Structure 1
Amino acid sequence: MKKFLKHILYGFLFFVIINLLIVIKYELPAHEAIKNKTHKNYLKWNGIHNNANTYDVIILGSSRAYTSLNPKIIDSGLNLKSFNMGTSSQDITETYYTLKEILDYQNPKYIVLETYFGSCDSFINYYQVYSNSSFFKSTKHKYDLVVDGYGSKGIVNYIVPMMKFNNYIKQDIISLFSKKKSKNPMKGWYKGFYNDTTVVKQNDINNFEPIPNFRNKVFNKNRFKNSFDKIYELTKERGIQLIVIRTPYPPSRLMLNSNTDENSFYQNYFSQYKDVGYYDLNSYKSNIFNFKDKDFSDFHHANGKGAVKISQQVVDIIKTHQLN
Structure 2
Amino acid sequence: MKKFLKQFALGLLAFIIVNAIIAVMYEYPTYKSVQNETNRNYLKWEAIHQNQNTFDLIFIGTSRSYTSFNPKIIDSALQTNSYNMSTSAQDIAETYFALEEIFEYQKPKYVVLDLFFQTADDSHDYFQTFSNSSFFNSTKRKFNLITEGYGTTGILNYSIPIVKFKAYIKQDIARLFSGNKQKRKSDVWTKGYLHEGLTVTDAEISDFEPISNFENTTFSKARFTKYFNKIKELVNANNAKLIGLRAPYPPSRFTLYETDDEGVYFKSYMAKENIPFYDLSTFKSDKYRYIDQDFADYHHPNYKGAKKASMQFIDIFKDIESKNN
TM-score by length of 1: 0.98
Point out where structure 1 has 5 or more consecutive residues left out of the alignment: none
Q: Residue in 1 aligned with 2:250? A: 250
Query: What letter matches 1:286 in structure 2?
Result: S
Q: Which residue of 2 aligns with 1:112?
A: 112
User: Matches of 1:99 and 1:186 in 2, distance apart?
Assistant: 26
Deviation at 1:259, TM superposition (A): 2.0
| Aligned equivalents of 1:234, 1:93: Cα separation in 2 | 13
What does residue 47 of structure 1 align with?
A: 47
Matched letter for residue 19 of structure 1: N
Say how many residue pairs are matched. Answer: 323
Could you say what secondary structure the match of 1:77 adopts?
helix
Q: Amino acid of the residue matched to residue 156 of structure 2?
A: V
Corresponding position of 1:308? 307
Work out whether residues 187 and 197 of structure 1, in 8 Å CA contact, stay in contact via their aligned partners in 2: no
1:257 CA displacement? 2.0
Question: Which residue number corresponds to residue 279 of structure 1?
Answer: 278
What residue identity is the alignment partner of 2:147? V
Deviation sequence 1:212-262 (CA, Å, 0-9, x none): 111110111111110110000001111111001111100111112222111
Amino acid at match of 2:8: I
**Is the 1:146–1:154 contact (alpha carbons within 8 Å) kept by the matching residues of 2?**
yes
The Cα of 1:182 is off from its aligned counterpart by: 6.2
Structure-1 separation of matches of 2:177 and 2:210: 26
Runs of 4+ deviating beyond 4 Å: none
Distance (Å, rounded) in 1 between the aligned partners of 2:252 and 2:197? 20
CA contact (8 A) 2:294 2:304 kept: yes
Preserved contact between residue 208 and residue 253 of structure 2 (Cα < 8 Å): yes
Aligned to 1:90, what secondary structure does the other structure show?
coil
Residue deviations 1:71-109, cap 9 Å, x none? 001101211100000001000000000000000000001
In structure 1, give the amino acid aligned to 2:157.
N
Match of 1:296 in 2: 295
Deviations 1:19-69 (A, max 9, x none): 001011100110011001011101111111111100010000111011000
State the SS of the aligned residue for 2:89: coil
Mapping for residues 1-324 of structure 1, pairs under 5 Å: 1-181=1-181, 183-184=183-184, 186-274=186-274, 276-323=275-322, 324=324
The AA in structure 2 aligned to 1:315 is: I
Conserved in 1, the CA contact under 8 Å of 2:186 and 2:194? no
Q: Is contact 1:96–1:230 with CA below 8 Å preserved after alignment?
A: yes
- Which residue type is aligned with residue 270 of structure 1? M
**Displacement after TM superposition at 1:115 (Å):** 1.5
Unaligned segments of structure 2, at least 5 residues? none
For 1:38 and 1:67, how far apart are their aligned partners in 2? 17
Equivalent residues of 1:61, 1:115 under 8 A apart: yes
Aligned Cα root-mean-square deviation (Å): 1.1
Distance 1:238 1:22 in 2: 41
In 2, are the aligned partners of 1:120 and 1:219 still within 8 Å (CA)? yes
CA distance in structure 2 between the aligned counterparts of 1:121 and 1:183, rounded to whole angstroms: 26
Alpha-carbon distance change, 225 to 182 in structure 1, aligned in 2, over 3 angstroms: closer
CA shift for structure 1 position 183:
4.0
Rounded Cα–Cα distance in structure 2 between residues aligned with 1:58 and 1:73: 14
* TM-aligned CA distance change 1:268 to 1:183, over 3 Å: closer
- Taking the aligned partners of 1:147 and 1:162, their CA distance within structure 2 comes to 19
Q: Is the 8 A contact 2:68 2:300 kept in 1?
A: yes
Q: Can you list the C-alpha shifts for 1:151-202, whole angstroms capped at 9, x where unaligned? A: 1111111111111111101111111221314643744010000001111111
Distance 1:83 1:238 in 2: 17
Identity %: 48
Equivalent residues of 1:19, 1:161 under 8 A apart: yes
